[in-house]
Amino acid sequence: MMEALMGMMDRNIAGELAALIAAEEADFLWEARQAERWLGGWEGCDDGEELDRIGIIGSLGGAWFSAILLVDGEGRAQGLLARHDAAGESIARARWEAG
């Protein structure tokens, strides 16, 4: 009985951790970036806030990615538009350079 309860708790914690990571994904990716480039402004905001589209490349937990994030004027990630995982740095960099 105790083992079953511990297994349920582990799954619950794993689920909560996965939900937290998903909610904060843009921040995690932004902090893991190794290079960035400005892609243009973002006009999809209704509240008048000016955001930029920034293309990034990085490695998180040993896995390479390229992504496009919305970043505010303070340099904080505000949203994730696209993410592409790659088998290695060269593949991620090629996608990032292609835009």
Query: Domain coordinates of the chain in residue numbers?
Result: 2-98
Residue 11's pLDDT band, with cuts at 50, 70 and 90, is low
**Under DSSP, is residue 36 helix (H, G, I), strand (E, B) or coil?**
strand
What is the predicted pLDDT for the residue at 1?
46
Tokens at residue 46, please? Answer: 């209704």
- pLDDT at residue 12 tops 70: no
For 60, list phi and psi in degrees, rounded to 5: -130, 115
- Where helices occur in 1-99 by DSSP H, the ranges are 2-23, 25-32, 89-98
> Which is more confident, 2 or 19?
19
Q: How far apart are CA 33 and CA 25, in angstroms?
A: 12
pLDDT tens string 43-79:
876 666 789 999 999 998 889 999 999 999 999 999 9
